Structure formats: structure tokens, C-alpha cells
């Protein structure tokens, strides 16, 4: 029910976004846009069509190779770039402005509206409509603005708790089912081993923090009429901030930049015993800390209230057709195959830890496959259940990169200089409002 409610809300927000942003700016439907450099789309030529594709998800390169081997008329040229928030999005937008962007790009669901504001997306409605029945309806809604589709769904990011079985067992710590139990476990572990922490807090990871807020019922962005409403300091978000502030003040969590070598080393060395994160971390941990294989397991995300099950979401990256694409029809054809072909997506689950949005995704063999890194636990079964309980209240706004920069700066300074997360979020709220105003859009504060 959670996913369905979320879809309805996302659809409503998308319609509001379209009104505000004048979605016609993202290109005329059915291939009426222009090619890079402002000219008409090139006429069909002899030989295979080449579709350039940028992304960073594990398994994408192998998927492109599999497609190319069986589709000689459409060849995909894949280039792995830095993840979006680490420079990939700036690279994409810069290429669009320069007129040399790829046809297809991995763009997080949280960033689609930002790309729409920049006029960086093509309208692919006419190319995609015949295959949309292959996806869950909420997934199509999430990439549709004002009735016009700009991307092909791929995956979602329901959250769970990754934990070291051996470390918790050594110290006789039960897997926490609630956040109160999580705090108690953090205190018990650190008391038993002052060099060990139950988890880390990443001051440069807005998306991870947003997943916690999402679970708590936060609603950072919404629309009313032709105006955006920004509520980054709403009650659920401050509840989450105060919770983590308590752990930070007691020095019960490690503090490290996300994705840093030091962060992964702490996991390898057993200094960090758990991570509450999205399903796609399944593969990230396997690839990044292989020496700990067999020692990990996955449990549901801790809940705020005993006996309740509500889950946050982090990520989910559709493949968007960027402005100027000379071959949008072929780009959509490949992107649809990638997300709906049973063999292709089963490989993405195995090799990339991606979680499907296709209508028949739960029937994929990988959904029940044991994973050696997690002691042969079929971890995707945990996330399959989690996907049905994602909180329905959360939506992203039109200036996510700017908000991300503000979060990293304000929260990073608060953690390093003894400030509070609550005060840092007030700064993020102010800068989020200002960033939307700078785009010439109407905005109010929640």
C-alpha cells in the first residue's frame, strides 16, 4: 500500500511541477525536438545506430555488452562516470549545454525535476507509451510530468539494515527492531569495544539522511497551485535530526565521509558493525569489502514504534533521454529492454544490486537467490517486503543539487564544529528556498 500511495502523491506533485515549469520546455513530443547544436535530428543512415549512455550502476557495462551482442542494428556505447552527486550530474548538464550530451543518462529520481528546470530532458512520451504496461504504474508516474514522460524507470531503493552477524553475536547484541533498540545496541557495543561503533554518521550524505526522514513521515517538498512548498525542518525531520544528534553527542557513532576509503576500511576492520541503507548497497558492500564475505546479514530497517513497519527509500535511478538526443526512439527501446528483460534485469540484481520496478520484477530468479556475502541469505526477499511499506509522504524538489550542496556544507560544519543538526537544517531550508527563487519559481516555507 505504501508504494501505491507514494505513487499517487508523486503523480500529483509531478503535475504541479509541470504547471510551474512549463513542461513544454523539455522538448516537443514524439521526436519533434532538436539534435545537439540546435539543428534538426539527422536522417536515418545506413549501418547501426549508436546510442551513447552514461551511468555508474554496477552491472551496466555488462548489460550494454549483452544488448550489443543481440541487437546489431542498435549499438550502445556505455561510459561509466562518477555518481551524480559526486560530479556526474554537473558533467551531464555541462554536456547538454555544450551540445555533446549522450542520448541516455542515469539520473536519480530525486534529480529529474532539477534536470527539467534546466531544460535538459527530452519528451519521450510517444516512444515509451506502448511499453509502459511492463512497469508498475507508480514507476511510470515517477518519471512523468504533466502527462509527458521524460525517462524510463529502472530501479527503486527501499531500505534495510545491513549488519555484521559475528560482531553482534560476540557481544550478545540482538538485531535491533526499533530505533530505541538501535541506540541501546550502539551504546552496548561501544562500551564493550571502545574502538567499535554500531554505525557511522555521514555528514556529506543528504540522500541517506533523507531516507531516515522519509521513513519518519517527512515531506520536504510539495506543490500547491503554482508554488513550491519547502519543509526541510518539518517535525519528522527534526525528530530524526535530534535522534542522531543524541548519538553524536554521546560519541556512539563513527563520523566519516560516505564512500571514502576510510569508511570502507572501517567496515573491513570491524570498526563499523552495521549500515541502514538502500537495497543497492547489497552489491556495493560485496564489491568494496570482500574480506568480510559471509559475515553480513540483512534485516528490516528499524522502526520508530514497536510493531509498526514503515520504510524509507534512497535512490532509484531512471534512464533519462537528454536534450539533443539524435536517436530517442532507439534510446527508449534499449532502456526499456534493460529494465524489463527478465535475463537482463536478473543480471542487474546479481551484479548490481538493483531492485526492479518492472511489473513482473518480483518473479525474477535473483529475488530468491542466496548471496554468499550474506551467508547465503536471500537478501532481496527482505527488500521485496520493505518495498511494500515505503512511506507515502516524501517528494523531491526542483533544485536538488543546490540543496545537496547546502546540506553537505551546513551539516558538515555542524558536526565538525560542535553545532547541531537541527540548526544546520534551518540553514538548508533557507538555502533551498533561495535556490528555488533563483530559478524564478514561486515558493513558500512549510
Residue 10 pLDDT: 42
pLDDT value of position 46? 62
Q: Give the sign of the dihedral formed by CA 241, CA 414, CA 210, CA 442.
A: positive
Rounded CA gap, 154 and 135, in Å? 9
Give the separation between CA 264 and CA 289, rounded to whole angstroms: 7
| Cα–Cα distance measured from residue 308 to residue 310, given in angstroms and rounded to the nearest whole number | 6
SS3 content of the chain, % helix, strand, coil (to 5): 50, 15, 35
Whole-angstrom Cα distance, residue 271 to residue 267?
6
Residue count of the chain, please give it. 446
Contact status, residue 206 vs residue 333, Cβ threshold 8 Å: no
Measured distance CA(29)–CA(328) in Å, rounded: 11
pTM: 0.82
Compute the distance between CA of residue 377 and CA of residue 362 in angstroms, rounded to an integer: 17
- Asked if residue 110 lies in contact with residue 83, where contact means CB atoms within 8 angstroms, the answer is no
Task: Write down the pLDDT at residue 20.
Answer: 38
Given the DSSP bridges, would you call strands 254-255 and 200-201 parallel, antiparallel or unpaired?
parallel
Place of cell 519521450: 124
Stretches in the chain below the pLDDT threshold 50: 1-44
- Strand 221-224 to 148-149 pairing: unpaired
E-state strands within 155-226: 155-156, 159-164, 200-201, 221-224
Three-state DSSP state, 233 = coil
Q: How many Å apart are CA 321 and CA 304, to the nearest integer?
A: 39
* Spatial distance between the Cα atoms of 134 and 139, rounded to a whole number of angstroms: 10
Q: What beta strand segments (E) does 107-197 contain?
A: 144-145, 148-149, 151-152, 155-156, 159-164
- For residue 164, the number of C-alpha atoms closer than 13 Å in the C-beta half-sphere is 24
| Helix (H/G/I), strand (E/B), else coil: 294 | coil
The pLDDT assigned to 45 comes to 53
Amino acid at each position: 500500500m505504501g508504494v501505491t500511495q507514494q505513487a499517487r502523491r508523486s503523480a500529483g506533485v509531478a503535475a504541479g511541477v509541470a504547471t510551474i515549469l512549463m513542461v513544454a520546455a523539455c522538448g516537443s513530443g514524439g521526436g519533434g525536438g532538436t539534435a545537439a547544436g540546435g539543428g534538426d535530428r539527422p536522417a536515418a543512415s545506413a549501418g547501426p545506430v549508436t546510442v551513447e549512455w552514461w551511468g555508474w550502476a554496477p552491472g551496466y557495462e555488462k548489460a550494454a555488452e549483452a544488448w550489443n551482442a543481440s541487437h546489431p542494428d542498435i549499438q550502445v556505447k556505455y561510459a561509466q562516470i562518477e555518481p551524480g552527486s559526486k560530479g556526474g550530474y554537473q558533467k551531464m548538464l555541462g554536456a547538454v549545454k555544450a551540445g555533446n550530451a549522450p542520448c541516455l543518462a542515469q539520473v536519480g529520481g530525486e534529480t529529474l525535476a532539477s534536470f527539467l528546470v534546466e531544460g535538459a530532458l527530452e519528451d519521450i512520451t510517444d516512444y515509451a507509451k506502448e511499453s509502459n504496461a511492463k512497469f508498475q504504474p507508480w514507476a511510470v508516474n515517477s518519471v512523468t510530468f504533466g502527462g509527458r514522460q521524460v525517462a524510463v524507470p529502472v530501479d527503486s531503493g527501499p531500505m534495510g539494515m545491513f549488519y555484521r552477524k559475528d560482531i553482534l553475536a560476540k557481544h550478545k547484541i540482538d538485531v535491533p527492531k526499533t530505533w530505541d533498540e538501535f541506540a541501546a545496541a550502539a551504546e552496548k557495543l561501544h562500551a564493550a569495544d571502545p574502538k567499535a561503533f554500531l554505525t557511522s554518521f555521514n555528514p556529506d550524505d543528504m540522500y541517506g539522511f533523507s531516507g531516515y526522514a522519509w521513513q519518519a513521515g517527512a515531506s520536504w517538498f510539495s506543490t500547491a497551485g503554482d508554488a513550491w512548498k519547502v519543509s526541510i525542518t518539518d517535525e519528522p525531520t527534526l525528530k530524526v535530526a535530534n535522534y542522531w544528534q543524541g548519538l553524536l553527542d554521546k560519541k556512539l557513532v563513527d563520523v566519516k565521509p560516505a564512500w571514502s576509503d576510510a569508511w570502507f576500511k572501517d567496515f573491513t576492520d570491524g570498526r563499523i558493525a552495521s549500515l541502514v541503507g538502500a537495497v543497492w548497497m547489497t552489491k556495493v558492500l560485496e564489491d568494496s569489502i570482500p574480506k568480510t564475505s559471509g559475515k553480513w546479514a540483512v534485516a528490516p530497517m528499524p522502526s520508530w514504534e514497536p510493531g509498526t513497519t514503515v520504510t524509507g527509500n534512497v535512490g532509484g535511478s531512471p534512464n533519462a533521454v537528454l536534450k539533443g538526443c539524435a536517436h530517442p526512439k532507439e534510446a527508449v527501446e534499449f532502456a526499456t529492454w534493460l529494465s524489463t528483460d527478465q535475463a537482463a534485469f536478473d543480471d542487474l540484481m546479481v551484479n548490481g544490486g538493483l531492485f526492479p520496478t518492472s511489473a513482473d520484477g518480483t518473479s525474477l530468479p535473483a529475488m530468491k537467490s542466496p548471496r554468499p556475502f550474506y551467508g547465503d541469505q536471500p537478501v532481496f526477499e527482505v527488500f521485496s517486503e520493505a518495498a511494500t511499506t515505503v512511506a507515502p509522504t516524501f517528494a523531491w524538489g526542483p533544485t536538488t543539487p543546490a540543496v545537496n550542496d547546502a546540506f553537505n556544507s551546513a551539516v558538515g560544519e555542524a558536526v565538525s564544529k560542535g553545532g547541531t543538526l537541527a540548526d544546520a537544517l534551518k540553514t538548508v531550508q533557507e538555502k533551498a528556498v533561495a535556490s528555488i527563487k533563483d530559478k524564478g519559481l514561486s515558493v513558500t516555507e512549510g
